[in-house]
Amino acid sequence: MIKLRFWLCQLRKNPLATVVACLLISITLGLILGLDWGEGFDLWSIVSLVLFNAAFLFVLIKRKQLKFWFHQLRRNPLSLVGIAIILTFIIIAVFAPLIAPTPEGHFDPYQIPRDGYSPVPQPPSEEHTFGTTQGQYDIFYGVIWGTRSAFQVGLIVIGVVLIIGIVLGSLAGYFGGIIDEVIMRVTDIFLAFPTLILAMAIVVALGPSLNSVMIALAAVSWPVYTRLVRGDILAVREEDYVEAARGIGASHPRIIIKHILPNSIYPALIMASLDIGAIVLAAAALSFLGLGAPEGYADWGQMINFARNWIVGPPGDPFAYWYTVTIPGLFIFMFVMGWNLLGDAFRDILDPRLAKR
């Protein structure tokens, strides 16, 4: 029991270890429950996964800390709105199979079912709650399952970028010298390109697909994080406690992971939470340009691309096809805004010094 307490205490001190622990829990639980990671997840296992992780974090977090977080949140009502929006989207994503059930005999749940092949969109009806878009793809199904794609793109890209940024940034900041010089010059080169243009070129080189979009977005976003982490590490590298750890003979990885990162990682985490919206927006833009997911994949950007030809209705009824463009657009807008507001909340919680004056 005491041993357990000790471990919990250690975890509390180190946010990085907490994240790793959560991941481990998810993976073991996933293996036990026999989750099928490939095909759209089984509903209840996801729910239990989320609940278990939440319970774990709750045990880990001290009461006082929790109180402080709530206090910070209440000071900024807009961030509460952000949390509400993102929670709604999480619920939509998790319960997608219940909200918009995949029709019988339809193999890939991410492929939007289509009702015929006529190009003309159909208005909302009993059968199609939000109507159908060009090619008779069901808009309701598309936006609901598109939420999952959006989370996937945003979280995977940000996760990869954070890992690259933390590893390269720590190497550059901690060791300095030639390693630092090389890594920084490489970031210089990547930062010399307008982001969307470079991403576009990479997508074209890899062949248009959702994976290429994710790779391209990760390739254009990592330099910013690397620089940020490096700068923050430089700021704490010479602190007394780091010097002390070095003095008692701690190894380099231990100093970086246990002493430096926990004290310098927050700005990168804050930026990551503010960036998820921007990443999803960029992915949607690439999809809109026709460089993203294959046709019919549940993806918001592509649904707006479908709507391009139906902006203006027949004479006398200019708004005839309003649903094709308005509904997917509203989903993207709310999703991105939710993350932007949530990022503000994270900033208030994680770094009170940065909170708005």
Partner 1 sequence: MELRAYIIRRLLLLPPVLFGVSLLVFGILQFFSPVERAALYVRDPKQFANIAEIIEKYGLNAPIWEQYINWIGQIFQGNLGWSKVVSMPVSEAIMYFLPATLELAIFATPIIILGGIFLGSKAAAHKDRFLDHATRVGAIMGWSLPTFWLGLMLLMVFYGYFSGLLPPERLSTEMNILVHTEAFTEYTGLHFLDAILNGNWQVLGDSLRHLVLPVITLTVVNIAFIMRLMRSSMLESLGKGYILTARAKGLDENTVVNKHARKNALIPVLTVSGYIFVAIVNGVVITETIFNYKGLGWWAWQSAVNLDIPSVLAFTLFTAVLFVLTNLVVDLLYTRIDPRVRLGGRVR
Chain residues that interact with partner 1, rule: CB under 8 A: 78, 185-186, 188-190, 192-198, 200-206, 277, 281, 284-285, 288-291, 301, 304, 307-308, 311-313, 318-319, 322, 325-326, 328-329, 332-333, 336-337, 340-341, 357
Instruction: Considering the complex, state which of residue 174 and residue 300 has its C-beta at the smaller distance from partner 1.
Output: 300
Nearest approach in angstroms of CB 173 to partner 1 is 16
Cβ partners under 8 Å of residue 82, min gap 6? 337, 338, 339, 340, 341, 342, 343, 344, 345
**Shortest separation between residue 80's beta carbon and partner 1, angstroms:** 14
CB of 186 to partner 1, least distance (A): 8
* 298 neighbors 283 (Cβ within 8 angstroms): no
| Closer Cβ to partner 1, 195 or 226, answer by number | 195
Token pair 């406690």: residue: 241
* Nearest CB to partner 1, comparing residues 67 and 308: 308
Closest to partner 1 by CB, 57 vs 120, is: 120
Least distance (Å) between residue 169 CB and partner 1: 19
Tell me the closest approach of the beta carbon of residue 114 to partner 1, in angstroms.
Answer: 22
- Assigned token pair, 245: 């750890």
Identify which of residues 93 and 285 has a Cβ nearer to partner 1 in the complex: 285
Q: Nearest Cα to 160, choosing from 230, 212, 221? A: 221
- Provide the b/e sequence for 337-354 (b: ≥16 CB within 10 Å): bbbbbbbbbbbbbbeeee
From the CB of residue 86, how many other CB atoms can be counted at a distance below 10 Å? Answer: 21
